[in-house]
């Protein structure tokens, strides 16, 4: 194997879960690339990654994304030696409840669920209430039980990728906002500046006061700013849509509720996830937003309180803390992972939407495979995916862009 850092120079833009998982997988490639991850903020995971509900649900997201989640399970369940101090996952089932009017939606989710994990099943309403004793049985007609779901220790997962990146010789540069990404010979020159991702541009647009980096390959993992980073490389944006989602914590008055499952409306109009002696609640909102440091709106919190108090006996009266984050989707809600059709050494790893944490080991590996080998590697062999298949064209950014001239 080549010596660390003697292979291609790769700059990964963005230090959320998409960027660190990609940088980790790239740094371990046998061609021994020199990997530098640049992050605009003074800390990693400050934006969406630090604000998730931290749950892994196999029966969630578009079909291509389900294969990516499946491909991620081995990393989560058996993290590489020395990268994690404890388990990354803790079993927490998911219960989805439907009223009479949502039977068709329920049947569809049941069928799709069984295809990804045969332990997913319909259970009697009484059993659902036994699993989550604060559920009101009256509005429920049917209940879907996904026992093999997990709470994710997001900080530990993120940290495991950073550790793995550093151990493989990669570097992390904070306060490095990519301001201009220029073609330089067969590679790229990245001009950087201080100031966070949401800060206004410097007075002379594109000219930062930070270091200038050279790269053979650029990975765009800038979350809600994915299209902004493409524009800075003079590439066509793919139409990313950042959608704000709100979450808040409330106290639990129930003994032992920390062991209950996550419960959600079948259409994901609200959900509640037990977390120690609290509940994490969300209205599952999707409010369009510009890329920004998202903040919660009182009206969204109030809507969730109404829905959750109607569906459960939790009896929310006050909120301990609240936050919001941007779940950023591509137009077809499957991530964009792969080379830009007009500049194949510029690769996208964006549109993580609502599954960016649970699919991060797979997404990072896929972009690394495509960047350095041009095709998906053994992680995505059908024998590893429990009957699912991963078609890289389903992730290709080309589906949103005009063909290269
Ligand atoms: C309330 C909520 C609940 C969620 N629940 C779940 C869940 O249960 N399970 C799950 O899997 N997912 C969940 N998600 C989604 C998940 O959090 C996201 O998919 C994921 O965090 C996106 O990661 P990212 O790295 O793409 O984006 P980010 O974490 O936002 O990272 C992008 C980074 O790029 C940086 N950046 C931007 N522009 C530049 C630039 N020019 N130069 C340098 N750096 C730049 C930003 O500063 C930022 O740090 C949830 C999200 C929310 C908001």
Give 98 Cα–ligand 1 centroid separation in angstroms.
30
C-alpha span between 160 and 295 (Å, rounded): 28
Looking at the chain, the whole-number percentage of residues with pLDDT higher than 90 is 92
Give 48 Cα–ligand 1 centroid separation in angstroms.
3
Give 180 Cα–ligand 1 centroid separation in angstroms.
22
pLDDT in tens, 60-119: 999 999 999 999 999 999 999 999 999 999 999 999 999 999 999 999 999 999 999 999
Give 52 Cα–ligand 1 centroid separation in angstroms.
8
For a pocket test of ligand 1, which of 357, 360, 363, 395 has the largest count of ligand atoms closer than 8 A to its C-beta? Answer: 357
**Which is the closest atom of ligand 1 to the Cα of 352?**
19
C-alpha span between 231 and 297 (Å, rounded): 30
Question: What is the reported pLDDT for 316?
Answer: 97
> Is residue 113 a contact partner of residue 144, using CB atoms and an 8 Å limit?
yes
Fold classified for 94-148+241-329: D-Amino Acid Oxidase; Chain A, domain 2 (3.30.9)
pLDDT in tens, 109-158: 999 999 999 999 999 999 999 999 999 999 999 999 999 999 999 999 99
For a pocket test of ligand 1, which of 12, 13, 14 has the largest count of ligand atoms closer than 8 A to its C-beta? Answer: 14
Task: Tell me which residue has its CA closest to atom 16 in ligand 1.
Answer: 356
Cβ(245) – ligand 1 distance below 6 Å: yes
Query: Considering the entire predicted model, what is its pTM?
Result: 0.97
C-alpha span between 142 and 150 (Å, rounded): 22
CATH number of 9-73+154-240+332-400: 3.50.50.60
For a pocket test of ligand 1, which of 41, 197, 249 has the largest count of ligand atoms closer than 8 A to its C-beta? Answer: 197
- Domain boundaries, given as residue ranges, for the chain: 9-73+154-240+332-400, 94-148+241-329
pLDDT in tens, 211-240: 999 999 999 999 999 999 999 999 999 999
Cβ(247) – ligand 1 distance below 6 Å: yes
Among 72, 64, 15, CA closest to 333: 64
C-alpha span between 4 and 32 (Å, rounded): 5
309 bridge partner residues: none
Among 353, 394, 286, CA closest to 18: 353
Q: Does the pLDDT of residue 205 top 60, yes or no? A: no
Cβ(335) – ligand 1 distance below 6 Å: no
């Amino acid at each position: 194997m080549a010596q660390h850092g003697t292979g291609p120079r790769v700059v990964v833009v963005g230090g959320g879960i998409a960027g660190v998982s990609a940088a980790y997988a790239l740094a371990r490639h046998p061609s021994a690339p020199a990997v530098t991850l640049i992050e605009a903020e003074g800390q990693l995971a400050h934006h969406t990654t630090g604000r998730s509900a931290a749950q892994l649900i196999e029966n969630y997201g578009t079909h291509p994304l389900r294969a990516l989640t499946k491909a991620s399970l081995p990393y989560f369940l058996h993290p590489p030696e020395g990268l994690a101090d404890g388990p990354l996952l803790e079993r927490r089932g998911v219960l989805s409840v439907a009223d009479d009017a949502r039977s068709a939606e329920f049947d569809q989710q049941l069928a799709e669920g069984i295809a990804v994990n045969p332990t997913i099943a319909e259970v009697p309403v009484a059993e659902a209430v036994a699993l989550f004793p604060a559920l009101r049985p009256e509005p429920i007609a049917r209940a879907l039980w996904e026992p093999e779901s997990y709470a994710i220790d997001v900080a530990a997962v993120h940290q495991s990728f950073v550790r793995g990146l550093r151990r493989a010789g990669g570097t992390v540069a904070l306060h490095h906002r990519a301001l201009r990404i220029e073609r330089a010979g067969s590679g790229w020159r990245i001009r950087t500046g201080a100031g966070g991702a949401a800060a206004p541009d410097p007075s002379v647009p594109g000219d930062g006061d930070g270091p200038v980096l050279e790269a053979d390959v650029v990975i765009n993992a800038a979350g809600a700013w994915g299209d902004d980073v493409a524009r800075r490389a003079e590439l066509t944006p793919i139409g990313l849509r950042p959608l704000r989602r709100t979450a808040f914590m409330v106290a639990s008055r129930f003994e032992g509720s920390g062991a209950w499952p996550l419960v959600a409306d079948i259409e994901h109009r609200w959900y509640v996830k037990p977390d120690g002696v609290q509940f994490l609640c969300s209205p599952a909102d999707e409010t369009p937003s510009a890329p920004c440091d998202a903040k919660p709106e009182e009206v969204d919190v109030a809507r969730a309180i109404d829905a959750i108090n109607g569906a459960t006996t939790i009896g929310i009266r006050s909120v301990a803390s609240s936050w919001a984050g941007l779940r950023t989707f591509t137009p077809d809600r499957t991530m964009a992972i792969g080379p830009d059709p007009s500049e194949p050494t510029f690769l996208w790893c964006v549109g993580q939407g609502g599954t960016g944490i649970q699919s991060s080991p797979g997404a990072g590996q896929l972009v690394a495979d495509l960047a350095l080998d041009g095709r998906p590697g053994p992680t995505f062999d059908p024998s590893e995916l429990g009957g699912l298949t991963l078609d890289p064209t389903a992730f290709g950014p080309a589906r949103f862009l005009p063909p290269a001239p």
